[in-house]
Amino acid sequence: MTVTSKPHWLELEDKICVVTGAASGIGAAIATSLAQVGAHVALLDRDLAGVQSLQKTLAQQGLTALAIGCDTSSEADTLAAASRVRQALGPCEVLINNAGMLRAAGLDQVTLNDWNHVLSVNLTGYLLCARAFSPAMRAIGRGSIVNVASIASLFPQSSSGAYSASKAGVLLLSRQMAVEWGPHGIRSNAICPGMIRTALSARFYEEAGFEQKRAAVTASGRVGEPQDIADVALFLASPRAAYVNGAELSVDGGMSSMLMDMVPRPGYNVAPTLVATPLFENASRTTRGLAGRGSRDASPLSPVPACSSRLGAADSSPSGAVPCLGQPGAAAASHFSDPAGEANAPKP
């Protein structure tokens, strides 16, 4: 996308937009796309250097952006960020809640500290940001909140600690915002990204056959890119989606519709074949390391058995992240993907 003198069909020119987890992955793609259609964008992330770098890149293109270091799990930080946005740019009209993180572990192993930390960023952080920026929307009688959840909010992902639970909470929180704040002109919608390739998950695609296996469990036959989520986020944020409120949109290349193709049917496909996957062992360690540093775009990567399914797939096992067995993302990616590109600048 490029900025032109003609009004863009999304009508987001000069809108004040806030994107959390904007330093990389999906958040960076959304922020960049908003700036390219003429919006004034506030980039929030705990990774201040990361959003400052993006701000510089956008400025070189003549685009307006404001970098703010912000821990979205901190009420004080979110309120301070809201005040700074209002002073520097004006009243917020669009909030993209995208910051997130992952601490991989089974339910019988995850520590209470890790469980609470993930919830504080992935769920409570969305509430704190909404409460900090919605008063400005209420004052002008309009606003749009887009909450980036995950395909893992619809399908439990094993060994992902509190990740799936936190993202499921985001969906109900998003609906509640729509119900309570709709009368004030504020819309709230959620996006559930599927397998999304980000810089932090790129290393996993270097594994021979990994991308092909993931692509095989989507109806579209490919892994998603951050821009796939950004395009949907811009639509939901825009006046073009004026009557869309309380909705949840799965952007997963049709992966969530593939369940029946994963079920063994004599004469059509072969029974699932469980195989050892050393990839997870490495990915798991990486995920924990990234999450410990506050990894952006971290996405739960659970031990995934390969599943040979696709029609007529005789000995092949197109798996990797197998929806039929409950699998999403990659260590620092997003959702059944690589979680939706999330970032609190330390994101999944």
Interaxial angle between packed helices 125-140 and 163-181, expressed in degrees from 0 to 180 and rounded to the nearest 10? 20
Token couple for 327: 């699998």
d(CA 161, CA 236): 30
Q: Which of 126, 163, 205, 243 is catalytic?
A: 163
- Answer yes or no: 163 catalytic: yes
Q: What is the DSSP string of 97-143?
A: E---------TTT--HHHHHHHHIIIIIHHHHHHHHHHHHHHHHT-E
CA nearest neighbour of 290 among 25, 10, 13: 25
Q: Which residues contact 44 (CB under 8 A, 6 or more apart)?
A: 18, 19, 20, 21, 22, 51, 68, 70, 72, 81, 99, 129
Whether the CB-CB separation of 52 and 68 falls below 8 Å is answered with no
* Residue 202 CB neighbours (<10 A): 13
Q: What are phi and psi of 144, to 5 degrees?
A: -135, 130
Number of alpha carbons in the 13 Å side-chain half-sphere of residue 295: 29
b/e for 24-47, b at 16 or more Cβ within 10 A?
bbbbbbbbbbbbbbbbbbbbbbbb
Report yes or no: 105 and 161 within 8 Å, Cβ to Cβ: yes
Contact 302, 340 (CB under 8 A): no
Which residues are identified as catalytic?
Answer: 163
